[in-house]
Amino acid sequence: MNTAQRFKIQRMREDGESYTKIARVTGVLANTIKSFCRRNNFQVLKVKDDKSQNLCKNCGKELTLYKKTKPKKFCCKTCKNRWWNQNRKCLAKSENTLICRNCNKKFTDYQNNKRIYCSHQCYINFRYKSP
């Protein structure tokens, strides 16, 4: 493999081309290309996608998307947590109003309508209270 082929392999890999397509174009075996890319850390494939899809939902920062992985929605955990905390109520599928078995207080749960206690402390008090 000469220098021109190496450069072409690197450029095609960064553009998201497969090992077999690169092998057809350069005339080098696909397994040789695969080994070369792994040794030189060229295995990361950027996805060619619409720019509006590549933005963080919270801050609008551009995201790097990779082929064969689930698309990212947030740039970091901080942005993810902030966005979910701001949008929790509007994203809840159903808000359940329940009554605690221990303290008889009303509480709301967004996911589980089978909850019995409003808190872990109420559960402990109910389970281990003296007769």
Overall number of domains in the chain:
3
* 86 and 58 share one domain: yes
* 123 and 110 share one domain: yes
* 80 and 101 share one domain: no
Cβ neighbours of 12 (radius 10 Å): 19
Return the residue matching tokens 């392999």.
9
Write out the residue range of the structural domain in which residue 123 sits: 96-128
Predicted confidence band of residue 43 (pLDDT cuts 50, 70, 90)? low
Residue 64 phi/psi, 5-degree rounding, is -100, 120
* 34 and 61 share one domain: no
Closest CA to 78 of 69, 66, 70, 86: 86
Q: What is the mean pLDDT of residues 70-95?
A: 82
Residue 80 phi/psi, 5-degree rounding, is -60, -50
* 107 and 80 share one domain: no
Q: Is the pTM of this model over 0.75?
A: no
* 86 and 64 share one domain: yes
